[in-house]
Homo-oligomer: A and B are copies of this chain.
Amino acid sequence: MESLSAHQVLVMLLSFGLLLGVARILGEIAQRLHQPAVLGELLAGVLLGPTVLGWFSPTTNAFLFPLHGPNALALSAITTLAVVLFLLVAGMEVDLSILWKQGRVAPKVSMMGILVPFVAGFGAAWWQPDLLGREGMADPFLFALFFATALSISALPVIAKTLMDLGLYRSDLGMVVVGAAIVNDLIGWIIFAFILGLMGGQASASIPNMILLTLGFALFVLSLGRWLIHRAMPFVQAYTRWPGGELSFALILALLGAAFTEWIGIHAIFGSFLVGVAIGDSSHLRERTRVIIDQFVSFIFAPVFFAAIGLQVNFLTHFDPVLTAAVLAIATLCKLLGGYLGARWGGMPVRDSWAVGFAMNARGAMEIILGLLALQAGLIGQRLFVALVIMAIVTSIMSGPVMRVIIRHASKRRLVDLLHSRLVVRGMKAYNRQDAVRELCVAACEVTGQDCDLLHAAVWEREESLPTGLGHGLAVPHARIPGLARPVVVLGLSEKGLDFDAPDGKAAQVVVLLLSPAEDAGVQLAVLAELAHIFRDERMAQRLLDTRSYTDLMAQLKTAAQQISL
């Protein structure tokens, strides 16, 4: 059987390693800057692809990511598997009950989200086909139809990723957008298959067939299939190794589901998405299986897939600024308007409706796949393809940050986000509770610039009335401070331990001073709960004392805190 040569294996391993590495680093940086990780991941591809690396060193670029041959095919195979598995995870995260609840709004968003761009796109392409990049020989009607379709579809993978990155995926808003995007994309792909059918002069009779098969498959998976999976899951758990059995069960079904929708003629991702919805809906699915799939896919497969998008084209050679601007403007305006109108029609508030519009506006990989197929079919040229890809990337990049601003999504208040190296006091000098509180208050004042005596008085008043030793070597003196701009946490370590009257009688070796704004009740409870969780393990205090740097301390706290989700 034909296989990769040693040189090709070398190129594949090296290029995947680099692609994953750069994508993950830029993804982490994007998150630090409060942007969705997908933004950094997309940029990684632009950096390593023909646009930047190919400009500085064409030979390196051609060595790592050849345009043709076995290595291009290997990348294509991996990215296809990656997006199929990513949609499995996206499907597993869908909460059907929320989706049904949004049943009133999603179809309206979807309908307007297709109708407005489709009509506007068709009109524009019919009126000005040459300005919009029609190739000389392409049929004007088919071209207009394609252009309209290209403006109408969304990008379920990018939308799902952006919503997940923002923590909005399972919210009501998220489910409206996801529900609308599914319907939207299914219709878009069916129209596109119809165009390809007309072009080939064949098989346009098979379109009703395709629609029937798509609907039938969706219906089957979400009803009988869902029931079968729910019944089968306990068998898998009982009679195979665990969680490996459940893991393979989910992946095998996703691959076969994806193969089926690919066979129908719509994209493979719909199959794995629907299978994911059915699996995720089963109450038998264990959290551990979900976490293993989710982590591996979100941090390995998804970054590779999104980074690979940027490798597809050189954004310089075939760049036509007028065409690109026109495509971008028409696409964005129409989709925004469509999404907004649909959401308003469905009764959503103005602000949320704009957020829906921007979310639906992300075109991402779907647009690029569609464009690529059209390019290969000779329907459009390189110029329009580049314009479509840029439009897809710009709309994808735009959607996260803009939604963030519109929703003013409060970042979660986590202990690790509040800590700072200047707010850690090692080797506390205090010998009793009152001195300890004062010592930490002094450290806090240096950062907040507040009056130290007032601060201490407030914390001590609270502490004196009810000591805050929580046991397992932890004490959490705390107070709400009027006029404090943001929560402040000071972490003190005392080798000898201090008596904070804990229920287990143990001296507190870790003393956390927690100051929160008077008007913000939530943060105090959240951090207290998180600390209690972290210190469930009685060896935690000793572990923190054993750390020798701020980094080690953060590593301990962060890994202990994160266990929550399992």
Contacts and interface: CB of A to CB of B under 8 A. Distances in A.
A84 B566 contact: no
Contact of A24 (B20, B248, B558): B248
Which residue of A10, A75, A248, A558 has the most chain B CB atoms within 10 A of its CB atom?
A248
A94 to B, nearest CB: 21
A544 B244 CA distance: 23
Contacts of A362: none
Nearest to A298: B244
A34 interface: no
B259 A13 contact: yes
A54 B471 CA distance: 67
Given A76-B2, A237-B555, A241-B28, A13 B70 contact: no
Given A6-B262, A251-B300, A72 B12 contact: no
Contact of A72 (B2, B256, B555): B2
Interface stretch (A171-179, A286-294, A483-491, A517-525): A286-294
B80 A234 contact: no
A330 to B, nearest CB: 27
Interface string A232-243: 011101111111
B235 A299 contact: no
A81 B16 contact: yes
A552 B237 CA distance: 9
A245 interface: yes
Given A2-B67, A81-B78, A237 B13 contact: no
A375 to B, nearest CB: 11
Given A252-B21, A566-B566, A300 B247 contact: yes
Interface residues of A, number: 82
Interface string A2-46: 111010011011101110110010001001000000000000000
Contact of A248 (B10, B14, B259, B299): B299
Contact of A555 (B238, B288, B298): B238
Stoichiometry, as copies per complex, reads 2
Interface string A204-242: 000000000000000000000000000001110111111
Contact of A2 (B68, B80, B563): B68
Given A1-B311, A20-B251, A284 B81 contact: no
Nearest to A237: B555
B77 A78 contact: yes
A552 B234 CA distance: 6
A209 to B, nearest CB: 16
B2 A252 contact: no
A281 B68 CA distance: 40
A34 to B, nearest CB: 13
Which residue of A244, A284, A312 has the most chain B CB atoms within 10 A of its CB atom?
A244
Nearest to A250: B300
A1 B295 contact: no
A93 B525 CA distance: 41
Contacts of A21: 248, 252, 256
A296 interface: yes
Given A241-B28, A243-B562, A84 B262 contact: no
A562 B244 CA distance: 11
A295 B247 contact: yes
Contacts of A293: 296
A77 B12 contact: yes
A65 interface: yes
Contact of A238 (B78, B263, B558): B558
Contact of A76 (B3, B237, B268, B303): B3
B242 A559 contact: yes
14 contacts: A3-B72, A4-B77, A13-B259, A16-B255, A17-B256, A20-B255, A21-B248, A24-B245, A234-B551, A234-B555, A237-B554, A237-B559, A242-B559, A247-B300
